[in-house]
Amino acid sequence: MPQIEKVYDYFVTTPGGLDVFAAKELRALRGVESLRIDRRRRQTRIHFRYDRSPSRLLGLRSVAGVFADLGQVEGVTVGRPGMLRIAEALSHIDITPAIALYDVLNGPQDTPGIRVTCTVGRGHRFTSGELQQVLLVVLAERYDLDPDEQSGPYNLHVSIDGRRARLGVRLGRPGTRDYVHASVGGELPPIVAAVMAQIGRPRRGESWIDPACRNGANLIEAGLIEEVRLIAMDTHDACIRAASINAGAAGLSLATSLWDGMCLPFRQASADCLVADLTRRNEFRDVSAMLLACREALKRSGRAVVVCDRDRDLEDRIKVGSFPYELVGRDPIHLRGLSPSIYHFRAST
């Protein structure tokens, strides 16, 4: 049996604005070389070479997807010739090493089959569906696929940006979390919660609170980094129940409490870090009021990491020193058509 060629070229995807954190995670892995960031507003790709165990890539907390990089097609025009150019390039690419690697990472699949997904940028005169059908014909001819094998566990993804097309085989989705068993709708993707935890830097023995916990992911991600005390609060009982279910699935202990959104049920100066997602929460639309309500619960050296729409009035209040927080940093991100920011505050007197 011929030996299958090893995969060395990869790329990962992450929502726009989170590439700095994903790149930091990648650089911390021994064996990562030639790292290159291809920034886009909605989604960023990070390309690199890697000669160690690819299973470590599936453990990255701040990336959405991991792909075996099959290369790039240049000169993709907007019409049908551009679509056929991609098909011609694919006919000369051997995807079996990537398929074999997928099986190594995820276990042998019960059913064979290659699914094609496409993202076609604006201005092209062919649709993603038309490109998908053309590429399926190419794969069927090269690998002798039956019609029922043209949708399966293996995912070939093609993304077109301008005159370039990038091809890759998806190896995994680290952006999903096994612990998410309950949802209340509107939660942040877990990778954003993971980035918030990284910004907050949990330390063993600390107390972390989330006054708008939703499904609890913001606290759970911190608890998976370090052993900290987690306290989830919300104005809705459904959120408390979802957070408790997910924390249990993650093997973490979680204290919970309902509150009225005005008077935080927490001892003064006893929390080390506050994390909260205030997007799409009408009761917490006034971010300044929320932070003021939570300030007394934070220790003198406390931190706060909050996701919300950019609040220039809040930033101005901090600049002139009329607010009991210092602004450490702001990271704009892009999520599902929205452009909120991750604010990092330090408590001040």
pLDDT confidence of residue 3: 67
Question: For residue 232, what are its two tokens?
Answer: 């989830």
Write out pLDDT tens, residues 137-168. 999 999 888 877 777 899 999 999 889 999 99
Q: What does the mean pLDDT of the chain come to?
A: 92
Residues 6 or more apart whose Cβ sits within 8 Å of residue 107: none
Specify the pLDDT at position 244.
97
State mean pLDDT over 223-252.
Answer: 96
What pLDDT does residue 236 have? 93
Q: Could you give the CA distance from residue 277 to residue 289 in angstroms, rounded to a whole number?
A: 14
Residue ranges matching CATH 3.30.2130.30 in the chain: 9-172
**For the domain bounded by 190-347, which CATH number is listed?**
3.40.50.150
Q: Cα 192 to chain center, whole Å?
A: 6
Where, residue-wise, is CATH 3.40.50.150 in the chain? 190-347
- The Cα–Cα gap between 67 and 54 comes to 10
pLDDT tens for residues 297-320?
999 999 999 999 888 888 888 888
- Read off the pLDDT of each residue in 40-63 and give the average, rounded to a whole number: 93
The CATH fold of domain 9-172: VC0802-like (3.30.2130)
